[in-house]
Amino acid sequence: MGKVGVALAAGCAAAACVTAAVMVTRRMSRRRGWRRLVRVLEELEEGCATPVGRLRQVVDAMAVEMHAGLASEGGSKLKMLLTYVHNLPTGMEKGIYYALDLGGTNFRVLRVNLGGQRSTILDHDVERQPIPQHLMTSTIEELFDFIATKLKDFVGREENVSGISAEETRELGFTFSFPVKQNSSSSGTLIKWTKGFSIQDMVGRDVSQCLQEAMSRKGLNMQVASLVNDTVGTLALGHYHDQDTVASVIFGTGTNACYLERADAIIKCQGLLSTSGGMVVNMEWGNFWSSHLPRTSYDADLDCESPNPNDQGFEKMISGMYLGDIVRRVVLRMSQESDVFGPVSSKLLVPFILRTPMIATMHEDDSPNLMEVARILRDTLQIPDVPLNVRKLVVKVCDVVTRRAARLAAAGIVGILKKIGRDGNGGTASCKAKGGGQSKMRRTVVAVEGGLYTNYTMFREYLNEAMGEILGEDVAEHVIIRVMDDGSGIGAALLAASHSASLAIDSI
């Protein structure tokens, strides 16, 4: 071999050494990066842990806060608003009733034709309208005139079908899903706007009156016979179908719950005398807080950066509006701690870019190579070519966040059951079947509505599983969670019907 040959060989050997060294360094750095990812995941799992003992502490805290909220105004983060709804539908309501459902991005107009026996809805018609964005921050007149016009159009089209003449007054149920201080079951004043609505001079105004005035401006002969929120509407529909329904919970963009409280509990706390047969209480449970809730730095950051810090703490851990953003924050941290995702994508810094339906898709991706996860990471977060083992880690993050949400939601529900003595531990007459020597847990139904519960299978399964763990299977088998589609709207029409039925009885 000549000099040139020797030099060439030496050069090749050196290059090979460098390549090998680079490969080893890369492998080591990838391994280090991987270890960091695993550590972030492990910390998340630890921070979100919900062993059954902790869930029981949340149950107790919920029941205690419910007592405190009922006892005095401002006594708890739970507002425990009285609704003045004493009579829930029985299935015997009869006639044609209308409802208006406002409380999110859409509003709906409904008409139901009730059969008068055995919970029969002869037919019902729903029309969904998006609320134009500009109306959410416009004036009272503009918003309510828009609603009244849509209602008038709907009634006009229905006139032939319903057979009600234009002269007859129609009874209307109004579902208004914002915090309201009720004065009666058909009137109340707005406490605060939420969900992006902000209309000047509306806080403190009578909501039914705003609608009533708009309807008369539009020449619409209708009477607001019930004013409720989505939880109360859902409870009403639940009770219409099954009289063992005692509570209802919404798991949608936001979360809230209401339940049927015993008359004596309300009289004791609020000194109300006309509460025969109990009353529905709107908990506004999205604002629940307890030191037993497993809170991570991701939750603290989300809260800090939200327009309503220190507000709606429970909702921020549970509801559809937030779960996607918690996952985004964890993936961002992983991407900052390790180069396994490549350079940090600017998309990861955009709040709410990862929506909850997307984390449901990733979580439930059953394709062999997690192709859906790869697609969402690529298309939404602009992170291409994520290796399979890292995609698996992202699925695990979705699992941890959703599992915590569902298990805390279950603890919240059991908290309500505990407050009303339906958790199997009450030992009082109220929670046991009457008669007979051997006492037995009473059948108890909780009505549920909302896109998070109905569309996200894993959320639903984790919630049901946790109910069994907390209550014990013997008790849990008597607690039925029942989905009430369109409950918030139909329920308001049912309440308008039962309200007019009770007026008819009173006038006899």
Task: State the minimum distance, in angstroms, from the CB of residue 364 to ligand ADP.
Answer: 9
Q: Which parts of 87-106 interact with ligand ADP (CB under 6 A)?
A: 104-105
Asked if 335 is an active-site residue, the reply is no
Q: Which of 108, 328, 422, 442 is catalytic?
A: 108
- To the nearest whole angstrom, how small is the minimum distance from the Cβ of residue 360 to Mg ion? 17
Among 175, 253, 275, 296, binds ligand ADP (CB under 6 A): 253
**Residue number with CB closer to ligand ADP (289 or 322):** 322
212 neighbors 148 (Cβ within 8 angstroms): no
Known catalytic residue: 153? no
Exposed/middle/buried for residue 126 (C-beta within 10 Å: 0-12, 13-18, 19+):
middle
Using the minimum distance from each CB to ligand ADP, give the nearer residue, 185 or 356.
Answer: 356
Q: Is 421 in the site for ligand ADP (CB under 6 A)?
A: no
Report whether 198 contacts 136 (CB < 8 A): yes
Residue number, 405 or 416, with CB nearest to ligand ADP: 405
**Which residue, 207 or 327, is less far from ligand ADP as judged by CB?**
327
- Burial classification of residue 438, based on how many CB atoms lie within 10 Å of its CB (0-12 exposed, 13-18 middle, 19 or more buried): exposed
User: Taking the mean position of all CA atoms in its chain, how far away is CA 488?
Assistant: 13
Which is closer to ligand ADP, CB of 294 or CB of 489? 489
Q: Is 278 in the site for Mg ion (CB under 5 A)?
A: no
Task: Locate 395 and state its tokens.
Answer: 């699925």
Angle ∠(28,379,343) on CA atoms, nearest 5? 30
Query: Taking a C-beta distance cutoff of 8 angstroms, is the pair 109, 490 a contact?
Result: no
Size of the residue set binding ligand ADP (CB under 6 A):
14
> Which of ligand ADP, Mg ion, none does residue 456 bind to, with CB < 5 to 8 Å depending on kind?
ligand ADP
d(C-alpha 272, C-alpha 267), whole Å:
5
Distance CA 174, CA 13 (A): 82
Residue number of the CB closest to Mg ion reads 252
Closest CA to 458 of 365, 338, 327: 365
Shortest CB 449 distance to Mg ion, Å: 7
User: Residue 292 gets which letter from DSSP?
Assistant: T
Distance, in Å, from the CA atom of 293 to the CA atom of 57, rounded to the nearest integer, reads: 9
Residue linked to tokens 């969900």:
195
Give the x/- contact pattern for ligand ADP in 299-328, rule: CB under 6 A. Answer: ---------------------xx-------
- Segment near ligand ADP (CB under 6 A), from 110-118, 219-227, 265-273, 446-454? 446-454
Residue type, 223: Q
Active-site residue identified among 119, 177, 208, 226? 177
Beta carbons within 10 angstroms of residue 138's beta carbon? 17
The binder of Mg ion chosen from 89, 179, 238, 252 (CB under 5 A): 252
Residue type, 97: Y
Consecutive H or E run containing 466 = helix 457-471
137 binds ligand ADP (CB under 6 A): no
Which among 33-41, 79-87, 294-302, 445-453 is the span making contact with ligand ADP, rule CB under 6 A?
A: 445-453
Catalytic residue check, 108:
yes
In the complex, which residues of this chain contact ligand ADP (CB under 6 A)? 104-105, 252-253, 320-321, 356-357, 360, 450-452, 455-456
Q: Which residues are catalytic?
A: 108, 177, 230
